Amino acid sequence: AQSVTQPDIHITVSEGASLELRCNYSYGATPYLFWYVQSPGQGLQLLLKYFSGDTLVQGIKGFEAEFKRSQSSFNLRKPSVHWSDAAEYFCAVGLTGGGNKLTFGTGTQLKVEL
Amino acid sequence: DSGVTQTPKHLITATGQRVTLRCSPRSGDLSVYWYQQSLDQGLQFLIQYYNGEERAKGNILERFSAQQFPDLHSELNLSSLELGDSALYFCASSVGNTEQYFGPGTRLTVT
């Protein structure tokens, strides 16, 4: 069964600093990979996705992520964080065949210091 | 706004009761998914429907059931509710095996 690990439960960065959120997955084949963001009291918003092809994917709000097969990782990055980026970020993996259920990591809570 | 709607937004009920959560997918999406988000279990997949048929099942309790109707909206029925069922319930939709778009969720509180 697939699994997703987000090793950092909490991360604090200063506004304007760069950000990298880590995600490692365990899956027998190349999975579909996603990053979602959840603001307090809100639903999950899709930031970006990787299905195949270019391993560096661009998303909304200035985020990008890089798929590294050798490291089973899909880390999320942003060059300059804004205060409005404070939220919880979830990495998810989906199956590449049959049903399309998502398996989520435990999330990383991002705090932005002004 | 993802285009996925869920009602109600909040639900407070007592143990032993039954509730129904409703979800309308994005226009054109045939797949509907239900997830539960709780503090101890995190985000967990419950069940998927595709064009009215059950497609995949996850950690869904026998007390829970779902269906997708001909107009593609879906309902999640939770019965014999327990305190531990208190959680955020999300619906998501997709076009086939593609990215899923999530609704705002229904917060269920069982007292």
Question: What is residue A96's predicted lDDT score, i.e. its pLDDT?
Answer: 64
Contact between B97 and A102 using a beta-carbon 8 Å cutoff: no
Of A44, A96, A103, the CB nearest to B90: A44
Q: A60-111: per-residue pLDDT in tens?
A: 999 999 999 999 999 999 999 999 999 999 999 987 655 678 999 999 999 9
A94 touches chain B (CB under 8 A): yes
Chain B CB contacts of A36 below 8 Å:
102
Question: What is residue A66's predicted lDDT score, i.e. its pLDDT?
Answer: 96
A45 touches chain B (CB under 8 A): yes
CA distance B47 to chain A (A): 8
CA distance A51 to chain B (A): 9
Contact between B2 and A43 using a beta-carbon 8 Å cutoff: yes
Chain B CB contacts of A102 below 8 Å:
33, 35, 43, 45, 92, 100
Which of A9, A36, A101, A103 has the most B C-beta neighbours within 10 Å, making it the best mutation to test the interface with B?
A101
Q: A12-69: per-residue pLDDT in tens?
A: 999 999 999 999 999 877 789 999 999 988 899 999 999 888 899 999 999 999 999 9
Q: B10-54: per-residue pLDDT in tens?
A: 999 999 999 999 999 999 999 999 999 999 999 999 999 999 999
Chain B CB contacts of A46 below 8 Å:
99-102
* Contact by Cβ (8 Å): A88, A38: yes
Mean pLDDT for chain B overall: 95
Chain A CB contacts of B10 below 8 Å:
none
Q: What is the full DSSP assignment across chain A?
A: --EEE---SEEEEETTS-EEE--EEE-SSPPEEEEEEE-TT--EEEEEEE-SS-SEEE-GGG-EEEEEGGGTEEEEEESS--GGG-EEEEEEEE-SSSS--EEE---EEEEEE-
Of B44, B90, B94, the CB nearest to A100: B94
A60 touches chain B (CB under 8 A): no
Residue A112 to residue A82: CA distance in whole angstroms: 7
